[in-house]
Amino acid sequence: MSDDKFPGWHGTTIIGVRRGGRVVVAGDGQVSLGQTVIKGTARKVRRLNPGGHEVVAGFAGSTADAFTLLERLEKKLEAAPGQLARACVELAKDWRMDKYLRNLEAMLIVTDGADLYVITGAGDVLEPEHDVAAIGSGGNYALAAARGLMETDLDAEAVTRKAMAIAADICVYTNGNLTVESIAK
């Protein structure tokens, strides 16, 4: 189908908040096709355990593309156990250089409990300045809400949940059915 006839997949808000020695990653459950909600309970945040080193990852974009990237990330982590930054950079390099991977449409937020990164298909591995990262259609809403909530005494999970609730109230492609994973280092 041509792009103008196919309404396209929309949706997803993923947020990661680092605070008090913990990182909490949450994702909504909505998958939309055009104006239609296809599913409201998708799991877009996963725990990975390559080589016994636990990592939490959340993804936005095409599900098949995101799973491909998660599998590649696991392989990179197995090759460099406990070195999340190195694995992320290697994945980003492959993603940018490989003809097959270059066409994947997804973004990832990954954390090992200490570090928090956003990985993009443009070859970027970004570390947030203010201990908050967000991606997806409602990512900017969640990011703004969480940045404001970081001024309070709320813990990482409370900031994450409140920011996601705000994003779900604003973004029509985001719902309140959350998958929340927490990891400490």
Note down the domain range covering 62. Answer: 9-173
- Per-residue pLDDT tens listing for the chain (185 residues): 344 444 444 578 999 999 999 999 999 999 888 888 999 999 999 999 887 889 999 999 888 888 888 999 999 999 999 999 999 999 998 888 877 777 778 899 999 999 999 998 788 999 999 999 999 999 999 999 999 999 999 999 999 999 999 999 999 999 999 999 999 98
Please give the single-letter amino acid code of residue 5: K
Is 179 inside a domain boundary? no
| pLDDT value for 10 | 56
Active site residues: 12
Whole-number Å distance between alpha carbons of 54 and 177:
24
| pLDDT value for 2 | 41
Q: Side by side, which strands form the sheet with 22-27?
A: 132-136, 13-19, 22-27, 179-184
CA atoms within 13 A on the CB side of 40: 7
Q: Position of tokens 């096709």?
A: 33
Whole-number Å distance between alpha carbons of 39 and 15:
20
| pLDDT value for 3 | 45
Is 2 inside a domain boundary? no
Split into its structural domains, the chain has a count of: 1
Is 105 inside a domain boundary? yes
CATH (domain of 70): 3.60.20.10
Is 19 inside a domain boundary? yes
| pLDDT value for 6 | 40
**CB–CB of 25/58 below 8 Å?**
yes
- Can you give the three-state secondary structure of the chain, one letter per residue? CCCCCCCCEECCEEEEEEECCEEEEEECCCEEECCEEEECCCCCEEEECHHHCCEEEEEEECHHHHHHHHHHHHHHHHHCCCCHHHHHHHHHHHHHHCHHHHCCCEEEEEECCCCEEEECCCCCEECCCCCEEEEECCHHHHHHHHHHHCCCCCCHHHHHHHHHHHHHHHCCCCCCCCEEEEEEC
Is 96 inside a domain boundary? yes
Is 1 inside a domain boundary? no
Is 130 inside a domain boundary? yes
Whole-number Å distance between alpha carbons of 181 and 85:
20
Is 4 inside a domain boundary? no
